[in-house]
Structure 1
Amino acid sequence: MRKYNINSIFASLFIMSIFSAGIMFQSCEEYPNEYETTGGVPTVEYIRVSDPDKADSLIVSASLDQTIVLIGENLTSVKELWFNDVKADLNTSFMSSKALFVTIPNQIPQDVTDKIYMKAGSKTVEYDFNVVVPAPALQSMLCEFVAAGDEAVIKGNYLIDDPNVPLQVFFPGNIEGEVVGVSDDYHEVSVIVPEGTGVGPVTVKSIYGSTRSSFYFRDDRNYILDWDNLDAAGGWRSGVIANSDPAGINGNYVRFYGEMPGKAGDLWDEDKFAFNLWNQSNGRADVPFYDGDLSEAAIKFEVNIPEAWSASSLQMIFTPYSVTGSNEYVANDDPTKTYLSKDFPRGLWMPWVSSGSYMTEGWTTVTVPLSEFIYDKDGKASEATLTIEMLGGLTFFVYHGGVDGTDCTVHMCIDNIRIVPL
């Protein structure tokens, strides 16, 4: 058995302890305090915008979600940075000793101190800076057609209901509605529609300002089909018209109803799930539905889907005025025939895909930008591009889309089809 010399062991331990102490001593000498290990106590001389072409633009305030640059000394020592009581994300790739790029969090502060707090080690350095909360940003309404006395929902951001300055919503005619709820994230406001309101934008006013919507309440611009005065008569399928079960939003609507298999493309049933509006056979003039910038426009309509929808897509296909008496454009790929599906880019609406199924609680407004009319019948990129010349007819058809779903009953009610500016 091997023997160990006790004295040698103690000698080795003693030498190691001296060596370790030497290292510790050297470290303390080299880094006399916790800030020097990371660059020293941070200081800010000034703050500027992030645009390099405006580097001489010094600022003392900025809006939520805006990127700014702190200029100073020892900024790599900053481990946490707060605007009021909201913590920002730091990216060391955008930090140097003299410059720190940071984006102001897009979150409303609760405790407004008008300061930036920089935490480095056990020390917190403060700097005076005002975070500006924008005026309300209005994106859409859950439904643009709501009766007086019923509840409308407006979606957006910065919809802040301050206890001292309550949020206000004004409908066309400058008639104020009663605000009955604001979401915790300030993205939605619920309001009772007042009597006497008409057609036009809504205005939302908060403590931080007032904003007028780009969308219209009870939008009546540029209707293509409303099933009361404008229908799809003259097409092979003019659509099944209804006004009850569910109740209409404002008169008649078209209803698609029937069983739908889950596998994409397994069913072709225009009688239950389609209408063809061909302007020529409908008696309309050879004038496009819309002659503005298509990249800045959208097709809108209201839907009511009372049963879970989980298969196929709502295909929206514009066709030129010359197309009439033929539905070959929907799915035909035979080059010997007149209308090829690849020549007609379409929009596909499949809101069920993200969660597996989709239904609405009453009527809901759908917005599909015309810039998204880029698909073929199988959901692949179309070979064609939508042009104004194509806006001479319109077909809606629940069919295919290239995504398998699950067997379901499609019960889809549609009204007020229109093209409007975004």
Structure 2
Amino acid sequence: MKAFFSFANACRFASLVTLMAGLFWLSGCQKEDVGAPPIVTQVRLLNPASKDSTFTSALPGTLIVIQGQHLDKTLNVFFNDFPAAFNPVYNTDENLIVSIPASTPTAVTAPSVSNKLRIVTTRGETTFDFTIVQAPPAITSISNENANPGETITIAGANFFGVSKVVFPGNLAVDSTQFTVNKEGTLLTVAVPKNLTQSGPLSMVATFGTVNTPAPINYSSGAGVLCNFDDQNTFQSWSIKMQNDAKLFPGTRGNYGYFSVKGIVGGNGEWWTEGRSLNTNPSVWVAPANLKNPVSDYALKFEIFVKAPWKTGTLQVMPSRTPMPTSYVYNYTPWKIGTASIDFTTPGWQTVTIPLTEFKTNNGLGESAPSLTALLGDTGSNAILMRLIADTDGMGEVSMAVDNIRVVSNKAK
């Protein structure tokens, strides 16, 4: 009987030992899992439609999902040692949603970057090979699109880091030793090649891409040119006069239109008096074959040179020679900066760009044209009127010139 109980006790003891060993093993595994450092296996876009597409490089500003294990206790995320903010509410053990900061350094802005994604958690850290690529350059404006050969222009935009050359029409390339870029990568200053004769897009070639201007530069004659005061639509009745005095407005190309007024009293709306308006005969703004395109595909451009400080009044621009209550109007008041005002002048000829969507009803304060035919008519042809309108307290001196009025593509190719 004693032997039986001893054997039974031995069996119970063995079972208890086995159970305890299993519990200790399970506890050890759990402790090991709880204390494990993070692991990154892949990176994908947040968009569910792209969840099966993984990558190892991205642009600053991209919203991504970092996938792996043990990511739920993440404290910090770094791209090229630059910290990235994230919302831990959306963080799980296997997924971490984060936006790559727009200011993340790249190999272009900082050649010694690590090209690493680094994650720091309460249980350790890990790195993952990941390259932040510089976005291609973007051009928003050119100070003077019809500058004379040899003159200096400024190109404004973004991501000008790593630009190796600027290519003018006729494949005239200017390399990086001959232009300057500001430290923010938003302004590039370059001299127009002295042998420039052709018209066409300007190109900018950079490490991570090439960009072309949608509209041609050095363009003052041809399709879409409404008035150049030389050989294109120079109707002058009730209008400003043509001038060609290069001493008055240096850098001119032949003739230009000259606005010159002084001391107009408030309430005087006689825009047709000498020196206050430009009126042309109708010409083709947009070819009939393109009238079904969106209004946003096109812009009106012209060069302007403001000599005397301009600080009151409005230059109204409209596709009509006879203003009507239903006219689409754009009010050009560069002396207004938000709620403030300045004495506006230009250092020389400068290009003004007005998207056709900015021409609006209700004296420029209403709605944009729903279509090109609504704006221009069934043939895409119309006149152009530019007129100076005095404010209620009058208009001071205005002395300025305009040239090369044209409609061009506003759509990137």
Q: Which residue of 2 aligns with 1:144?
A: 145
Deviations 1:318-344 (A, max 9, x none): 13xxxx6xx4x2xxxxxxxxxx41x11
Q: Which residue of 1 aligns with 2:183?
A: 184
Gaps of 5+ in 1: 1-32, 330-339
Cα contact 1:313–1:349 (8 A) shared by 2: yes
Question: What's the CA shift for 1:414?
Answer: 0.8
Q: Which residue of 2 aligns with 1:345?
A: 328
1:356 aligns with 2:359: no
Question: What's the CA shift for 1:420?
Answer: 0.6
- Report sequence identity in percent: 24
Question: What's the CA shift for 1:48?
Answer: 0.6
Does the residue aligned with 1:295 lie in a helix, a strand or coil? Answer: helix
When residues 262 and 98 of structure 1 are mapped into structure 2, their CA distance, relative to the original with a 3 A threshold, is farther
Question: What's the CA shift for 1:311?
Answer: 2.5
Deviations 1:254-305 (A, max 9, x none): 1222236798x665443232122243xxxx6xx5554433320100111111
Q: Which residue, 252, 255, 266 being the options, matches 1:252?
A: 255
Q: Report which stretch shifted further, 187-196 or 93-102.
A: 93-102
Cα contact 1:151–1:191 (8 A) shared by 2: yes
Note the 1:115-126 alignment, pairs <5 A.
115-120=116-121, 124-126=125-127
Cα contact 1:135–1:158 (8 A) shared by 2: yes
When residues 115 and 353 of structure 1 are mapped into structure 2, their CA distance, relative to the original with a 3 A threshold, is same
Q: Which residue, 169, 172, 193 being the options, matches 1:172?
A: 169
Cα contact 1:344–1:384 (8 A) shared by 2: no
Q: Report which stretch shifted further, 216-225 or 42-51.
A: 42-51
Does the residue aligned with 2:330 lie in a helix, a strand or coil? Answer: strand
Q: Which residue of 2 aligns with 1:83?
A: 79
When residues 383 and 229 of structure 1 are mapped into structure 2, their CA distance, relative to the original with a 3 A threshold, is closer
Gaps of 5+ in 2: 1-30
- How many residues matched? 353
Distance in 1 (CA, whole Å) between partners of 2:317 and 2:56 is: 50
Cα contact 2:139–2:156 (8 A) shared by 1: yes
Distance in 2 (CA, whole Å) between partners of 1:55 and 1:177 is: 42
Note the 1:229-240 alignment, pairs <5 A.
229-233=231-235, 235=237, 237-240=238-241
Q: Report which stretch shifted further, 59-68 or 205-214.
A: 205-214
TM-score (norm 2): 0.75
1:388 aligns with 2:371: no
Does the residue aligned with 2:235 lie in a helix, a strand or coil? Answer: coil
AA in 2 matched with 1:380 = L
Cα contact 2:40–2:126 (8 A) shared by 1: no
1:270 aligns with 2:255: no
Cα contact 1:75–1:97 (8 A) shared by 2: yes
Q: Which residue of 2 aligns with 1:105?
A: 101
Distance in 1 (CA, whole Å) between partners of 2:72 and 2:308 is: 57
Distance in 1 (CA, whole Å) between partners of 2:302 and 2:231 is: 16
Cα contact 1:83–1:116 (8 A) shared by 2: yes
AA in 2 matched with 1:105 = P
Does the residue aligned with 1:218 lie in a helix, a strand or coil? Answer: coil
Question: What's the CA shift for 1:416?
Answer: 0.2
Q: Which residue, 53, 60, 85 being the options, matches 2:49?
A: 53
When residues 246 and 40 of structure 1 are mapped into structure 2, their CA distance, relative to the original with a 3 A threshold, is farther
Deviations 1:160-199 (A, max 9, x none): 24xxxx7211212212225331111112211122222221
Distance in 1 (CA, whole Å) between partners of 2:61 and 2:394 is: 41
Question: What's the CA shift for 1:143?
Answer: 0.9
When residues 369 and 93 of structure 1 are mapped into structure 2, their CA distance, relative to the original with a 3 A threshold, is farther
1:228 aligns with 2:211: no
Question: What's the CA shift for 1:404?
Answer: 8.4
Deviations 1:366-409 (A, max 9, x none): 111111112432x4214865433174111111226xx9899643
AA in 1 matched with 2:227 = L
Cα contact 2:37–2:125 (8 A) shared by 1: no
Distance in 2 (CA, whole Å) between partners of 1:68 and 1:260 is: 60
Distance in 2 (CA, whole Å) between partners of 1:69 and 1:262 is: 64
TM-score (norm 1): 0.73
Distance in 2 (CA, whole Å) between partners of 1:190 and 1:91 is: 41
AA in 2 matched with 1:44 = V
Distance in 1 (CA, whole Å) between partners of 2:313 and 2:87 is: 43
Cα contact 2:79–2:116 (8 A) shared by 1: yes
When residues 176 and 70 of structure 1 are mapped into structure 2, their CA distance, relative to the original with a 3 A threshold, is same
Q: Which residue of 1 aligns with 2:200?
A: 200
Question: What's the CA shift for 1:139?
Answer: 3.0
Cα contact 1:115–1:127 (8 A) shared by 2: yes
